[in-house]
Structures are given as structure tokens and as C-alpha cells.
Amino acid sequence: MRNLPIASEGIPYIIVTAIILVFLVMLSLWSLVVTLPFLLFFIYFFRNPKRNTKENPDVFFSPADGRVLSISKTGYDDRIGEQAVKISIFLSIFNVHINRAPMSGHVVSQTYRPGKFLPAFKSHASEINERNEICFGNDKCKFIVNQITGFVARRIVSDLSDQSHVTQHQRIGMIKFGSCTELIIPEYCIMHVNEGQKVKGAETVLASLDQSFNI
């Protein structure tokens, strides 16, 4: 199911909308004007494009499609055990909403935290909105992916359980209808993106562990 061009989470939305569309069209062709845009939107929103990027163990690829909202130093982070930097990515409703592993590793911990539903582009939203925090580890470092809801997004999906092993670019979940995804990595990493830059999950290199890496 994970290899389908449509994310499995979207199939119920598409089927229900299609059934409603057929029923209403039987009553009036004019109903297409109302129902067809919803059907097309769900097909578009839940698209699951194939990404063919090669793996690189020294690189953090973007865990999501969207725009880099901010890059900020966060000080010492107990979860990864060192000074950290946070890269926040804003996803509009027009972005692919599937989250992918930025680097291979195993799940150290996964914590769901209830919260509010402020617009994801608000600077303080990441601190108080509902979120799912996934801490990964490998033989090089620890890093965190935060799935954060937004004003429209109300449903976080995680494919992972504790001690799950993920490979780079593997789907790890999704957030429905507009959101924010954060990547927290060691501060010594070399940045390869800037604030405001558009990124693509599993394709755009956000940072690297080694100075010798060139995009």
C-alpha cells in the first residue's frame, strides 16, 4: 500500500467523495461543479510521488516537502545529547504531506503530545501545537523529526513503533491538511539550505555531517 501513487490514508476520503459525486450527479449534472473539485483536491493532496534519490549516510535529506520557515540554534538538547540546531519546514495544503526519514537509523523514542492548533507558520506554534516527536539514532549521531499540526491539520499519522529501523527516504508517516515538520540535528552539521528556500522530501539535502560533501 505504501507504493501506491495515492497515500492509503486518502483512499477513504476519495471513495466517499466519489460515491457522493455519483449520487448527486444522478440528481443533477450541476452538482459536478460542487463535488468534483473536492474529489480532485483529495486525489491531489494525498498523492504519493516516488522519489529516486540515492542514499548517503553522511547527509540529512529533507523529511518533508515545503518551505524552510526557520533555522535556529536551540542550545543543548538532552534527547540527542549535544548542542542542536532546528530546521522548521512549513507545509501548505498544496505540498506533498508524506514524511520521510532524513537519514537511516532506529527509533530511540516516540512521544505524542496533545496541544493547540495554531497556524503552523506562527513562530510559537511549534512549541504549543499538537505534535509527534520521533527521536532516531545511528552510529554517527542522534536526530529528531517533529510532526506538528496546524490550523487545518488535525491528524498526525506515524508508521513507526519503538525500536523500528528506518532507511533513508523511507516513509515514516504524514500530517493531514497543512502543517509543520521539524528536523533537530547536532549543531556541528553543515547547513545546505537557507530560510525561505523550498525543499522536497527525500531529495533536498538540508545538512551534512562532513565538510567534504558537495551538492
Could you read off the pLDDT of 103-115 as tens digits, one per residue? 999 999 999 887 6
Contact of 193 with 67, CB cutoff 8 Å = no
**What does the pLDDT look like over 54-105, one tens digit per residue?**
889 999 999 999 999 999 999 999 999 999 999 999 998 889 989 999 999 9
Whether residue 91 sits in one domain with residue 39: no
What domain range is 95 assigned to?
A: 59-208
> What's the pLDDT score for residue 1?
45
* DSSP single-letter state for residue 172: E
- Asked if the structure places residue 198 within a domain, the reply is yes
C-alpha cell at 127: 512549541
| Counted domains in the chain | 2
Residue 50 inside a domain? The answer is no
Q: In the chain, what percentage of residues exceed pLDDT 70?
A: 87
Identify the residue with better confidence: 128 or 19.
Answer: 19
Q: What percent of the chain has pLDDT over 90?
A: 53
pLDDT for 124: 54
Q: What is the pLDDT of residues 155-178, one digit of tens each?
A: 788 888 877 899 999 999 988 776
Q: Write out the catalytic residue numbers.
A: 179
Of residues 96 and 149, which shows the higher confidence score? 96
Asked if 80 and 178 sit in the same domain, the reply is yes
Pick the closest to residue 63 from 91, 40, 42, 84 (CA basis): 91
Confidence band for 133, pLDDT divided at 50, 70 and 90: very high
pTM of the model: 0.85
Is 93 domain-assigned? yes
- Provide the H-helix boundaries in the chain: 11-27, 32-45, 125-128
Same-domain pairing of 40 and 63: no
Residue-level pLDDT at 27? 84
Angle of helix 11-27 relative to helix 32-45, nearest 10 degrees, comes to: 170
Determine the Cα–Cα distance for residues 128 and 143; give it in Å rounded to an integer.
21
Provide mean pLDDT across the span 190-198: 96
Strands 190-191, 205-208: pairing kind? antiparallel
Same-domain status, 63 and 18 = no
User: Hunting for cell 514524511 — which residue is that?
Assistant: 99
